[in-house]
Structure 1
Amino acid sequence: MNRQELRKGPLRFLLVFSFYTNMRKIFNINNNESPEVISCLHGIRVLSMVWVVWGHSYLFQSLASVNILGIGRLTDDLGEQTIPGGFFAVDTFFFISGLLVVYGLLREYQRTRRINWIMYYVHRIIRLTPPILIMAASMATLSRLILVGPLAAGVDRTFVQHCRDHWWVDVLYLSNAVYPPCLGQCWYTAVDTQLYIVAPIVLIPLVYRRKIGVVLLAVVTLISMMIPMIINGVLQLVPNIMFGTIDHEPKADINTYDKPWIRATPYIVGMWTGLILHKMRTKKITLRPWQVGVGWVLSTVVGLLVVYGMVDYNTLYQPTPVPLAVGVVYEGFVRGSWAVVVGWVVFACHKGYAGPINSFLAHPCWQPLSRLTFALYLTAMSFQVIFPGLIYVPFYSSHLNMFISTCGTLFIAGLLAVPLSLMTEGPVLGLEKLLLRREGRGEQAEEKKTDQPS
């Protein structure tokens, strides 16, 4: 029996669990360029994940640091603002989510002249839930087998016990509402899913009544910028990426960090970008050299100001107090500004105005790592959480040691991410394709879809 016969017979339901087949899909590199695929997103996703893991190294491994009282000095200088700047890498992921939701739906409607809104939600749940459930179960059980160091009991009482008691919080995407969750990183999937749930309020008009949808999206954009400003002004908080929040309300992060109405702006900017790219997908955009230059200069300046502009206030020890007006304006515009910068990079890369930058971000070598980003997101922070419980001797925190630790975390988390993806993402997407195929999506369309980040 040949492969084609196997694919058509009942054994096709078993083939979706094939480690060999799914491994080939993960590590497949497609060198064929397509105007429908936003290739630069592969590199952006991978680099953003590295930035997040690097920042988390300073956060979690300080718990096992011999110089814990002086570790704050590692983030005080101008160049060191890159470390807390990892907060904005998370906003990059929100931006990508909003972009792909709009871009994907408009492409589907263009092909089929209809949208299956039930599958819109079903695909989301079956895509994300299995790997989260397996990771939560592993943290609640298997992690106890390797906790052997002097700090093991403390890690077990907190993080591991949280998974035994509250594993359901992450599975139901409530990690930003019910505390403490099992997997701390799942506050992101909770926020992203909550935004995804309400997105059709704007998506439906964008698909069927474009002009009404654009007006509604503009209104929602303004509201998303005003809400953080109002919350910060009323509660008199400093921006939540500032270390100075330790001198203010203890629950500041609960009000200003992990709520969907706080994180909506980059998601919405991503929706604008997806709309623009779809509208211009078949058009040749001609920009004059000075226009391209202005775009890159402005985006570079704004990006640098976002990451490094608050250095005088963003220190752990004796920070300069943030004036309320400065904090309010910064909180209202900072995430949207960062998303606009990323949006320009994506637009310029996709339309041929990025030169070597696009060659780097869209290089095919990023594709396998990009497909593993979600699994890596689940495994990396989980490893960093239990790491203090694995070691016997505290280590000295320095930039070099943190760099080495980050590289080690990425390597180990990557080894764990591959089987997690093979057990969940590949089989689930394969079964969805067999059982819940959407009209108008042939083999060629499905194959192209696998090359685009989702």
Structure 2
Amino acid sequence: MVNHPQAVEMKTAVVQQPDEATDTAIQVSDTTDETVEDNAEDIARQWSDDAEETIRESETTLIRRQLKSQGTAKTVKIFLSRYALYLIHRIIRITPAVLLIVMLCAGPSSLFVHGAFRRTFESSYLEICRRDWWVDLTFASNILTVPGGFKYGDTRRTFPGCIGSTWYLGVDFQAYLVMPFLLLPVKMMGRYRWLYSLSLVLASCLLCGIVTMAQDLLPASLLTFDGEASLRYVTWSYLMPYMRISPYIVSAFFGLLLVDADTHLRRGSVEGPRWLQILRKKEVLLLGWAIFSVTVLAVVFGLVNINIYSFSNPNPTLTPAGTFFYASFDIAAWACCVGWLVLTCTLGLAGPVDVFLSHPIWQFPSRVNYCVYLISLPLQGMILYSGYSNFYLSTLSILLSYGGVVLLSFFVGAAISFVAEAPYVGLGKLIRRR
């Protein structure tokens, strides 16, 4: 047998350099092992995602079959019974504190007002409070405080009530009424639940912009000399529940994300759903925090150039496109920032932010902030009517007044929370367990 010269040279090279050949073989083997491991991880991840999606679709199919088998009448009956408990728990949770503060404002509040303006306090605030106290307990004060309800320009009298801040309780309760109906289809949509949720968020945002442009409203509550424009904004936008429902839908979307992550972890998935695996990457987290920071600054300072009294430009306005964009997305954008904080802190991805916000020092303010919100405005009125002299505005005087009102509101709010809120919170927990 004749050996080819090139073959002989190759054999000689291999024999003379065994170490290089061995290293090359080892590198090829290591590369092959890494490739196999990566492929195995990809295949396992794909199988896991497919399995989770299959389970989700099976659950959706099972729910549909169960609803079909039990019949429409029984399904409606079960839903209404749970919906009634849902409302009862909410009413028990928020009503006692409102009732106690109304009693304080309509009764002994005049005992805390001294000075030359006490008679003015009694003839204006106290008389109206004792006449329209029931408005705060209807959870519809946001509509009853508007002249003529939804009809702008109607001269019928309003019902201001006792606590000026209960208008937002009305908005909150009305949104609370409709949210179960908006979220009910999520359970039966399977893989399309995220598309449905995002569609709800987008629709709620666009509704705000459309109403703002159709009624020629201000994009936000601005400092302006145009009193009619401010009144129209309050009537059609500021107090209306459909203009403020986007934060509730955004929070529901983030709630679905947390439920999805918890469901995967309970089923033994170490890495969690696909979106959580992406979110854990450092570059994604950095991008998320950057967007969070820019959004917060844009919402807070986006109108700084027009939200100011100026005799040279008494009625500053945005462009139509700017008005539509800000009116549509400002509230939802702020809700997304809050949702990002909650999501990252709950999943342990917020780092020092989570450590700061999870500190026990925030437990007391978080438990009494509802009563603080309710009592702060009446307390400010009592302090204002108790003045003995003119109040000269300055940075220091405003800072001292603000700090005093906040501190006093927390003291009074804590007492009200202990008396009127804590017992009924425990009662609500017992009702939910049953």
What is the TM-score normalised by the length of structure 1? 0.67
2:210 is aligned with 1:244: no
Partner of 1:142: 108
Letter in 2 for 1:206: V
1:16-31 equivalences in 2 (<5 Å): none
| 1:263 Cα deviation from its structure 2 partner | 0.5
RMSD (Å) for aligned C-alpha atoms: 2.3
1:28-66 CA distance string (max 9 Å, x none): xxxxxxxxxxxxxxxxxxxxxxxxxxxxxxxxxxxxxxx
Deviation of 1:152 after TM superposition, in Å, equals 2.8
Whether the 8 Å contact between 2:225 and 2:309 is mirrored in structure 1 is no
Alpha-carbon separation, structure 2, partners of 1:338 and 1:383: 28
Provide the C-alpha distance between the structure 2 equivalents of 1:230 and 1:203, rounded to a whole number of angstroms: 23
Residue type matched to 1:352 in 2?
Answer: G
The CA deviation at 1:271 is 0.8
CA shift at 1:241, angstroms? Answer: 2.3
Aligned pairs for 1:367-406 within 5 A:
367-406=363-402
Aligned to 2:281: 288
Between the aligned partners of 2:367 and 2:237, the Cα distance in structure 1 is 30
Q: Which structure 1 residue ranges, 4+ long, deviate > 6 Å from structure 2? A: none
Deviations 1:160-216 (A, max 9, x none): 223211111111101101122321111111100000011111232334555565554
Change (3 A) 1:382 1:128: same
- Give, in whole Å, the separation in 2 of the partners of 1:158 and 1:227: 37
Residue matched to 1:273 = 254
d(CA) in 2 for partners of 1:325, 1:153: 49
Change (3 A) 1:153 1:432: same
SS at match of 2:360: coil
Structure with greater Cα Rg: 2
Are 2:162 and 1:162 equivalent residues in the alignment? no
Quick one: distance in 2 between partners of 1:231 and 1:128?
30
Higher mean C-alpha displacement, 269-278 vs 285-294: 285-294
Native 8 Å contact 2:115 2:388 kept in 1: yes
1:310 pairs with 2:303:
yes
Does the CA-based 8 Å contact 1:203-1:213 persist in structure 2?
no
2:357 partner amino acid: L
**What secondary structure does 1:426 align onto?**
helix
1-side partners of 2:257 and 2:427: how far apart?
33
Instruction: Indicate the SS of the match to 1:372.
Output: helix
Please state whether the residue corresponding to 2:390 is helix, strand or coil: coil
Letter in 2 for 1:430: G
Q: CA 1:209 to 1:335, structure 2 compared with 1: closer, same or farther past 3 Å?
A: same
The one-letter amino acid of 1:378's match is: L
Query: Residue 217 of structure 1 is aligned with which of 174, 197, 217?
Result: 197
Distance 1:176 1:351, change over 3 A: same
User: Given residue 270 of structure 1, which amino acid in structure 2 is its aligned partner?
Assistant: S
Aligned pairs for 1:73-112 within 5 A: none
Q: Which runs of 5 or more residues in structure 2 are unaligned?
A: 1-77, 146-159, 266-270
What is the aligned partner in structure 2 of residue 54 from structure 1? none
Residue 83 (structure 2) aligned to one of 117, 128, 131: 117
1:186 is the counterpart of 2:166: yes
**Are residues 1:256 and 2:237 paired?**
yes
In terms of fraction of residues, the more helix-rich structure is: 2
Instruction: Give the structure, 1 or 2, with the largest relative contact order (CA under 8 Å, sep 6 or more).
Output: 1
Instruction: Please state how far the C-alpha of 1:410 moved relative to its aligned partner.
Output: 1.8
- Report the secondary structure of 1:244's partner residue: coil
Q: Is the CA contact (8 Å cut-off) linking 1:140 and 1:163 kept in structure 2?
A: yes
Partner of 1:438: 433
Name the counterpart of 1:171: 137
1:298 matches 2:291: yes
Tell me which of 207, 210, 221 is aligned to 1:230: 210
Matched letter for residue 170 of structure 1: D
Cα distance in 1 between the residues matched to 2:203 and 2:432:
37
Quick one: distance in 1 between partners of 2:181 and 2:137? Answer: 24
Tell me which residue corresponds to 1:352: 348
1: CA distance between counterparts of 2:190 and 2:358? 30
C-alpha displacement of 1:244: 2.9
Q: Distance in 2 between matches of 1:278 and 1:148?
A: 53
Distance 1:237 1:432 in 2: 41
Cα deviation, residue 413, structure 1: 1.4
TM superposition shift of 1:311: 1.3
Provide the secondary structure at the position in 2 that maps to 1:395: coil
Counterpart CA distance in 2 for 1:272 and 1:306 is 20
The CA deviation at 1:359 is 1.1
Q: Which SS does the other structure have where 1:397 is aligned?
A: coil
Q: Give distance in 1, aligned partners of 2:221 and 2:186.
A: 33
Rounded to whole Å, the distance in 2 between the matches of 1:403 and 1:210 is 53
1:365 aligns with 2:361: yes
Over 3 Å counting, the alpha-carbon distance change for 1:362 and 1:312 in structure 2 is: same
Q: Is the 8 A contact 1:148 1:390 kept in 2?
A: yes
Cα distance change, pair 427–240 in 1 and its aligned pair in 2 (3 A):
same
Identity of aligned residues (%): 31
Unaligned runs of 5+ in 1: 1-112, 440-454
Task: Quote the offset at 1:217 in angstroms.
Answer: 3.3
User: Do the aligned partners of 1:152 and 1:388 also contact (CA within 8 Å) in 2?
Assistant: no
